[in-house]
Amino acid sequence: MRICTVVGARPQFVKAAAVSPALRAAGIEEIIVHTGQHYDAALSQVFFDELGIPPPYQNLTVGSGSHARQTGLIMERLEAFLNEEPDFDAVLLYGDTNSTLAGALVAAKKWIPIAHVEAGIRSFNRTMPEEVNRVVADCLSRWLLAPTQVAVDNLAAEGLERGTTLVGDVMLDATRMFAERAQQQSPLRSVTAHAPDTYGLCTVHRPSNTDVPGCLESIFSALGQLPWPIVLPMHPRTRARMGPVQVPGNVEIVAPVPYLTMLTLISGARCVLTDSGGLQKEAYWLGVPCVTLRIDTEWPQTLAHGWNRLAGADRKAIVRAALSAPSGARRPLGEAPGGGTASESIANVLLQSK
């Protein structure tokens, strides 16, 4: 079996680091195409180097731009690549980025079957570009590789039961694969001077926070009211939109960090504040309370017993949520669907239904 995997953004590189070895072990030939959606070295090449992902066969180098421009460029260049490299049995897509949407549209129009990892995830908020990308990719996919039973139920409600398989969460695979290695290669003392459980960790990059007037000001104001230092690896997109936003004295702005360093920072934090979908899950699995800087989440399981709380960009809600302790136990790491073997399940599904 020969497949083309399309990746373009930091979370997709992490997922590929878990899935690609399983594909190779199953005897599947994988050709990786990097769209260049994330092109900054700190958000791209470092992940291939650090996580041992096979180098991309092709980089489409699309760079940044509006949703329409970026998606259109990916479609144009990916179509040209697939014309030059025919005979793929499948196109494998991850998550919900513009790379996902473009890959789905191009593959569908070339009659190449699509495998969508993280199918069925829904925030039910169509103002999120990611939600639109997920829905379109799911509608066009032959293999709907769902990470949770909630995702399976969402697909069933949309009439997409056919082709749906509950494989588990590949992000859990990656967390289990790399958490111990992160502690060895990037111990906390090499990352920050703060002791474990004495600092908060924050990431913010979504347009709903960076592009809406007042949201960044409110978030940073809330961070300044918390009684601990906050480590904030700043996404280039956020840095470009800071403008007059005042950075409180307890907030330490650092450059984007590699995946292993991020796992170390999550593990040592007393609280994570983020608008990232992946960090919500990683915090939950690693036993760290999380505040989601959004009004919705595609991972409702993390909300159990207050391990994750939705606060949006509301200053008071952020502070209140960050200072609140979970009210009950979380599920142990290995009890999530798939138990950390989602990657092998994906390879098996592809081979059995070829």
Among residues 38, 116, 194, 205, the one annotated as catalytic is 205
Any catalytic annotation for residue 205?
A: yes
pLDDT at 46 > cutoff 80: no
Q: Which residue has the tokens 């409600």?
A: 157
Residue from 250, 254, 285 nearest 267 by CA: 285
pLDDT at 158 > cutoff 60: yes
Give the DSSP H/E element, type plus range, for residue 58. strand 58-59
**How many other CB atoms are found less than 10 A from the CB of residue 142?**
17
Question: CB pairs under 8 A, 24+ apart, for 18-21?
Answer: 18/170, 18/171, 18/173, 18/174, 18/177, 18/342, 18/343, 19/92, 19/117, 19/170, 19/173, 19/343, 19/346, 19/347, 20/53, 20/54, 21/343
Average pLDDT over residues 19-26: 96
pLDDT at 40 > cutoff 70: no
- Domains defined for the chain, CATH in brackets: 2-169+337-352 (3.40.50.2000), 178-335 (3.40.50.2000)
pLDDT of residue 31: 96
Q: 196's torsion region: left (phi>0), alpha (psi -120 to 50) or beta?
A: beta
Q: Taking the model in full, what pTM does it have? A: 0.90
Letter for the amino acid at 241? R
pLDDT tens profile 213-246: 899 999 999 999 999 999 999 988 899 999 899 9
